[in-house]
């Protein structure tokens, strides 16, 4: 009616939301929606979470739905997997995914393989989530990226969000999924605000697992990244745009199953590929993307070899200047693009 009267309608209301608050919203909405959902991990209840992701949830839902655990990853991951096997929907928080190595037998041998080994009769609807990859000044034992580790394993779905919408939509989808899902977040993004659309603010908002997003259209080169490096790619694209190079930036969102079709379509258009990740180079996510492109129809459209930008092949140093040189920076992406384009 307003349009018929010639009145100008305002755009849908978008707001700024931090990744931390987006994750908190997702947990709150799913705890409210399904009484089978519960959260457990170190300090998730009375302390409101080590990173305040679960802020206010213990007070709202109580001891049976938000559970503090001892410092025993193998123990509480095992409890969570057992609960999932009897159709509860646990969300198991690791204080950092570096500590998930203590529980890797439960994640892989118990959660990932059970549905297959039971011929589909025992689904394991569980989410393992927490910060992954480098933080700031926490050195080697707290800075490893596990995207390639968990992406290697059949039986798991693996998601890696960048923005607040990614975080909320993927966590809600993960909680509702009947398969075990590993959700790899970035501690350095928790306090970063992103624009969240009106649709993303609704309780029914989910992002399909296994679908990448084109964050920026471009014609000269395809940049593919996940988690925090997506932001670096957007910054590099802005720098390169001033020099006449238009980058297409793909936010992978999901590591397994990988949306290689979106990457292929982009490479067919741009004829160049650069992958960016914070993890180590050998057997990494970028290596898998390059292999899949080489094996598929998009290979014939490449005008130059694909280029990988990765973390350095060393355990993360503690010193800040060494740390900065061990993880991809905007300048590294700009250099890689120019190398791919031979400029």
Which residue numbers are catalytic?
73, 142
Residues with Cβ within 8 Å of residue 302, at least 6 apart in sequence: 267, 271, 272, 273, 293
Three-state secondary structure call for residue 310: coil
> End-to-end CA distance of the chain, in Å?
54
Closest CA to 307 of 257, 267, 260, 259: 267
Measure the CA–CA gap between 227 and 209, rounded to whole angstroms: 15
Phi-psi region of 43 (alpha: psi -120 to 50; beta: other; left: phi over 0): left
Measure the CA–CA gap between 28 and 174, rounded to whole angstroms: 14
Closest CA to 290 of 224, 207, 206: 224
Three-state secondary structure call for residue 90: strand
Beta strand spans in the chain (E): 15-18, 37-41, 66-68, 89-93, 127-131, 157-159, 181-185, 193-196, 213-216, 221-225, 247-251, 254-256, 273-276, 307-309
């Amino acid at each position: 009616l307003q349009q018929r009267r010639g009145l100008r309608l305002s755009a849908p209301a978008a707001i700024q939301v931090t990744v931390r608050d987006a994750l908190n919203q997702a947990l709150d909405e799913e705890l409210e929606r399904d009484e089978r959902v519960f959260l457990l991990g170190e300090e998730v209840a009375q302390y409101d979470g080590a990173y305040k992701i679960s802020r206010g949830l213990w007070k709202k839902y109580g001891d049976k739905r938000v559970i503090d655990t001892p410092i025993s990853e193998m123990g509480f991951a095992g409890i969570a997997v057992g609960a999932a096997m009897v159709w509860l929907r646990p969300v198991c928080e690791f204080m950092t995914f570096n500590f998930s190595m203590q529980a890797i037998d439960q994640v892989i041998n118990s959660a990932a393989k059970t549905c297959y080994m039971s011929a589909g009769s025992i689904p394991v609807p569980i989410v393992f989530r927490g910060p992954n990859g480098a933080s700031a000044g926490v050195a080697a034992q707290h800075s490893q990226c596990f995207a390639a580790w968990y992406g290697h394993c059949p039986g798991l779905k693996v998601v890696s969000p960048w923005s607040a919408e990614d975080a909320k939509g993927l966590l809600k989808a993960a909680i509702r999924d009947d398969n075990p899902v590993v959700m790899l977040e970035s501690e350095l993004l928790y306090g970063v605000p992103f624009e969240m659309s009106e649709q993303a603010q609704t309780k029914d908002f989910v992002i399909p697992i296994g679908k990448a997003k084109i964050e920026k259209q471009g014609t000269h080169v395809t940049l593919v990244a996940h988690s925090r490096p997506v932001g670096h790619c957007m910054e590099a694209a802005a720098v390169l745009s001033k020099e006449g190079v238009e980058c297409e930036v793909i936010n992978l969102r999901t590591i397994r199953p990988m949306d290689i079709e979106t990457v292929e379509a982009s490479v067919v258009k741009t004829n160049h590929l650069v992958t960016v990740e914070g993890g180590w180079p050998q057997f990494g996510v970028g290596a898998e993307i390059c292999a899949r492109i080489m094996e598929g129809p998009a290979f014939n459209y490449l005008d130059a070899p694909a280029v990988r930008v990765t973390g350095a092949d060393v355990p993360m140093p503690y010193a800040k200047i060494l740390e900065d040189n061990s993880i991809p920076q905007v300048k590294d992406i700009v250099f890689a693009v120019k190398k791919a384009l031979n400029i």
